[in-house]
Structure 1
Amino acid sequence: MDSAAADREQTSPQQDVEDVTAQDPTDAADGSDPDGAGADRQTSESVAAADAADASDEESDAEDDDSDDDDDSDSDPLETEGEVAADYLEELLDIADLDGDIDTYVENGRAHVSVITDSKVLVGADGEVLEALQELARLAVITETGNRSRLMLDVGGYREQRRKTLTDLARDAIEEVKSSGEPARLTPMNPFERKIVHDVVAEAGLTSESEGEEPQRRVVIQPAD
C-alpha cells in the first residue's frame, strides 16, 4: 500500500465524524421537516380546535342565558310581587328577631302575602303597623320591578278576623238602614276595610259610598229608593 492510500485511510474516519458533528442536531431529530413547518401546522391546528371548542361553549352559554330569559318572561308578575315582598319581610323579621312563616298566593287579581305568627307587634293598634308594613312591602316591589303594586299583606290572620268583624258590622248597619229608612254612617276605616263593607252592602241590594278624607274617610250606607 502506498503512502497516499494510507493517508486516505487514516483521515477518512475523522472526516466522517466532522461531517456528522457539523450537521444541525435538530435536522437529525426532524429529518423530514428541517424548517419546523410541520410543527407549526400542528400548533395552528391545535389552536384552531381550541378556538372552536371555546366558541361552542360560548354558544351553549348564550343558549342557556336565552333559556333563563324565557323562563323569567313566563313568570307571573303577581307571583313575582309576592316573592319580592316575602324576601323583604323575611329580612325584616330577621332584623327584628321575630319568628314567623311567610306564605304567598294570588287571589282576585292581587298578590297576597301572609305572615303566620302569634306576635301582635307587626299588627299594632287598629292594624296601624300592619298598614305601614304593607306600604313598605309595596315600595320594595316597586323598587325591584318598577311596577305599581296592589299587594295585600296580612299578619297573624288579623285581616281575616277583621273581615269577619266588619261583615257583621255591615250587616247590622244594613238592618238599621232598612228599618229606619235613614243613611247609616260608619266609623272611619282604611281602604281595605271600606271595600269589605261596600261588598256586603252590594250583596244586600243597597248602595253605599265613601265620604271624608283619610284617615277619617268612612262608609255611608244609603237606604233603598
Structure 2
Amino acid sequence: MPPDFWSPVSLSLEIAAVSSIFVISLGILIGRLMSRTRFKGKVIIETILLLPLVLPPTVVGFLLIVVFGRNSPAGQWIEWIFRQPVMFTWWAAVIASAVVAFPLMYQSAKTGFEGIDTDIEGAALVDGAGNAKLLWFISIPLAQKAIISGAILSFARALGEFGATLMFAGNIPGKTQTAPTAIYLAIDSGNMQLAWAWVGCMVGISFLMLLVIGWVRD
C-alpha cells in the first residue's frame, strides 16, 4: 500500500465528524421546531429541507457552486472575509457533506420529538422549566434513540458523500480527496487492489455504524 493510503480515510472521517457537528445541532433545533409548530407553507419548507436526500449529488454540487461560487454574493462575502474562495477547500467538502447528510438527521430528530407525550413537556413548563431547559433535559433525553440513530446515519452519509464533494471541493490529495473520490480515481486508473483496500475500509466502518444503530434501537 502507498504511504498515504490512510490519508483519504482519515480525511473522510475528519470531514464527516465536523459536518456532523453542524448537522446534529441544526437537525435537533429545526426538527424540534417543526415538530411543535403548525403554519401555512410548512409542507413546502419541509420539502426543501428534505430535498438533498432525493436530488442527484451532481445537482446538489451544482447548486452549491451557484450559491457559494466566486460570482455569488455569499461566495464574494466569504472570499472577502477569509481572503480565499470556499470552493476546492477543506471547508467546501464539509459543506457538501453537511448538506447531503442533514435530511437524515432532521427527519430522525423530528420523528423522535413527535413521539414525545406533550403532557410531559407541558408539566415541565408548568414547573418552571424554560424552553432551553425543556429541550436539553426533557425533550432530547426522551428522543435520544431517534437522535442517536439520526446522528449515526447522517455521519455515515457524510462519510460516503461523493458527487457533490467532487464538484464543489474537487479531488485534491491530502486536502479534499476523501475515500469515495480516492476509490473512483483508483478504479479509473486501473489500480483495483488499492480500490479494494479502500472499499474494505469503508464497508467495515459503515457496518460498525449500522451495528451501533441496531444496538441503540434495541
> Aligning the two structures, in what range does the TM-score lie when normalised by the shorter sequence?
under 0.3
Task: Report the structure number with the largest CA radius of gyration.
Answer: 1
More helix by percentage: 2
More strand by percentage: 1
Superposition TM-score, scaled by structure 1 size: 0.24
- The higher relative CO (CA closer than 8 Å, separation ≥ 6) is in 2
